[in-house]
Amino acid sequence: MPNLVPPVKNTSDALAYRERILQALQQADIEERYKQSFDPRMTLYLTDTTTVADIQQAAESGIVQAVKLYPAGATTNSADGVTNLSARNDVFEAMQKHGLPLLIHGEVTDSHVDIFDREKQFVDTTLNNLVTQFPELKIVVEHITTGDAADFVLSQGEHVAATITPQHLLFNRNHLLVGGVKPHFYCLPILKRQQHQQVLLDVATSGNPKFFLGTDSAPHATHTKENACGCAGCYSASIALPLYATAFDSVGKIDRLEGFASQFGAQFYGLPVNEECITLVNEPMQVPDSYAYMDQKTLTPLMAGETLPWSIKHD
């Protein structure tokens, strides 16, 4: 995710960010074989100043996998996002030429558009025009939340795909709002109606390779979520696979999880399928109430303190 402060705007930024990740990995208390096999794939933050030369350099770097579009003001740390998409046509042409995918946070930001309609509006206008103008540009509509987005992806060729988060498979806006606002369910795009949740479950568990895992996990410290103006984003990285397993099993499609989680995304990006294995078992696990975080802070995961029916087997 390139929406840091400051954002990752070019290949030099991406290389420096990747080095910080690898340094942190070496200090982590995990098995050496995982340290050796972990290969962080980087993305650039598309801005109003991104150039064709930036795209060419990224494509030739070997470590930049894609370019991320956050419309300005659409989500956390999106102030540097694109304000005029049509002014970026030369950049999209360069991405199409070099085979560098565009990853999209698909929402309009017009103040008059209802927050629950912003994804549909983006799909009907901006996304439809983008696909028409650049028919060979590989696109991933990330963390889709509506049946409208799912239907759009289904209607396009193999060059258009989508990711789905665990929270959008497991929850809808009632979980966020009924009985009081639950800050740890607040993310953008926001949770939608139950009917949209059902469509997402249908496509995620269908075995269609156009839909694959994308957690959009956001490690906001607890105090930044639980305040008068809380950050958008759910932290799920530590328990993502048990969460997805719970969602898939809820509709009797646990056999479809491996493709969604481990194969389809790699195939879309032209990456080798990981040879390491993780074993999920149908045994309960309790989600921690919190994790220790930076500078004596805490990090509260999605479903903190709850019990999930699936867990990861540890040797």
pLDDT tops 80 at residue 315:
no
Q: How far apart are CA 44 and CA 42, in angstroms?
A: 7
pLDDT of residue 195: 98
Locate all alpha helices (DSSP H) within the chain, ordered by sequence: 11-27, 32-37, 52-61, 89-98, 118-122, 128-133, 147-155, 166-170, 173-177, 194-204, 222-225, 240-250, 257-258, 264-269
Q: What tokens appear for 265 in the block?
A: 């995304």
Q: What is the pTM of this model?
A: 0.95
Residue 117 buriedness (CB in 10 A; 0-12 / 13-18 / 19+): middle
pLDDT of residue 49: 92
pLDDT of residue 185: 98
pLDDT tops 80 at residue 280:
yes
Q: How far apart are CA 109 and CA 125, in angstroms?
A: 13
Question: Sheet holding 139-142: strands in order across?
Answer: 42-45, 64-69, 102-105, 139-142, 160-164, 211-213
**220 assigned to a ligand binding site:** yes
Rg for the chain, CA atoms, rounded: 19
**314 assigned to a ligand binding site:** no
Domains defined for the chain, CATH in brackets? 11-281 (3.20.20.140)
The mean pLDDT of 92-101, rounded to a whole number, is: 97
Q: What residues are labeled active site? A: 216
Mean pLDDT of the chain: 94
pLDDT tops 80 at residue 76:
no
**98 assigned to a ligand binding site:** no
pLDDT tops 80 at residue 73:
no
For 138-163, what is each residue's pLDDT tens digit?
999 999 999 999 999 999 999 999 99
Task: Please tell me whether the peptide bond between 309 and the residue prior to it is cis, using omega within 30 degrees of 0.
Answer: no
Q: What number of residues does the chain have?
A: 315
pLDDT of residue 154: 98
For 189-245, what is each residue's pLDDT tens digit?
999 999 999 999 999 999 999 999 999 999 999 999 999 999 999 999 999 999 999
Block residue for tokens 């309790």 = 286
CA separation (Å) from 303 to 34, 240, 288, 300? 27, 11, 9, 9
Contact 200, 169 (CB under 8 A): yes
Q: What tokens appear for 9 in the block?
A: 């705007």
Q: Please, which pLDDT band fits residue 282 given cuts at 50, 70 and 90?
A: very high
Residue 219 buriedness (CB in 10 A; 0-12 / 13-18 / 19+): middle
Cross-strand pairs, 163 = 212
For 25-63, what is each residue's pLDDT tens digit?
998 888 888 888 889 999 999 999 999 999 999 999 999
pLDDT of residue 29: 86
Block residue for tokens 């289904």 = 154
Contact 116, 192 (CB under 8 A): yes
CA separation (Å) from 92 to 46, 173, 227, 242? 10, 34, 39, 37
**84 assigned to a ligand binding site:** no
